[in-house]
Every structure is written in structure tokens, then in C-alpha cells.
Amino acid sequence: MSTNAAAGGGGGGGGGGGDLPSAPNVIFGTSFDPGSLAVTGKATQLKQGTPMVAVGASFSAQDPATVTVKVTSGSNAFGPSAPSASTPQGQATYFGLDLTADKLTPGTWQIEFFSAEKRSIAAGFLTVLP
């Protein structure tokens, strides 16, 4: 697992600007900046097949090597797995996940990040449109 954003910045890379979530929320968009994890193309609904990313914020710094994320909708579930990015290095408060490869189907999806103690540190809901 990397403690930095993956090369390309999730969902095809982001430019400057963008939004960061407030703790303990997760926000969604079409990409995130690989350095800051700021989300571009912020949305609560995204069309199936388009780039999708999630960035969550924790109230307290977490060791990125111990954070996991689950993606669920009804009986469909991905994870727990490691986030694809985190910032700042060391003890991180922002965690990113590129959802594009998961090919989420239409419906409401919950994305939830967990601490080493398996406590929820950030969560949010994304609606995927057909």
C-alpha cells in the first residue's frame, strides 16, 4: 500500500483546486489531485462508466498502513481493502479511493473508511446513475 496518491491521481488525475471533505465525511468526484487529494468534478451522483473517486477525512490522524475501506450496495461489496492514496505522509487525515475499476452498477453505494480498530472514521453515499 502506498502512503501517497497513486500516480495519475485517481480517475485520470486532477488539476489544481478542488474540494476536500470535512471529517468524518466522504466526498465524490471524477478525479483527485495526487498531492492534496482535493476532489475535482465533485458530485453526489455520477454516471456508470465514468471516472469515480472518493476522498474521506478523519477527525484524527491515522497510520495509512492500517486504514481500510469498504464499498457496499445491498448484497454487493468490495473490500475491505487499502485506500489508493493518503495525505499527509506518515499520520494521514485524508484518504482517497479510485472507484473507476470497480465498475459500480446503478444504485446507492456506501463508501466507508475504517481505522485499525475497525471503527468507522469517514463515510458517505454515492448514487450511480445508469
User: CA–CA separation, 116 vs 118, rounded Å?
Assistant: 5
pLDDT value at residue 9: 43
The answer to whether 94 touches 5, Cβ cutoff 8 Å, is: no
CA quadruple 84, 87, 93, 96: dihedral positive or negative? negative
Instruction: Give residue limits of the domains in the chain.
Output: 26-121
User: CA-CA distance, 74 to 68, in Å (whole number)?
Assistant: 19
pLDDT of residue 2: 33
pLDDT in tens, 25-42: 999 999 999 889 999 999
Fold designation for 26-121 = Immunoglobulin-like (2.60.40)
Mean pLDDT along residues 72-91: 91
Q: What is the pLDDT of residue 119?
A: 97
Query: Between residues 102 and 13, which one has the greater pLDDT?
Result: 102
Which residues are paired to 39 by β-bridges?
A: 19, 32
The pLDDT mean for the chain works out to 88
Whether 115 has a pLDDT exceeding 60, the answer reads yes
Q: Cα separation of 40 and 69, whole Å?
A: 21
Alpha carbon of residue 109 to chain centroid? 12
Cα angle, residue 20 at apex, residues 9 and 118 outer, rounded to 5°: 85
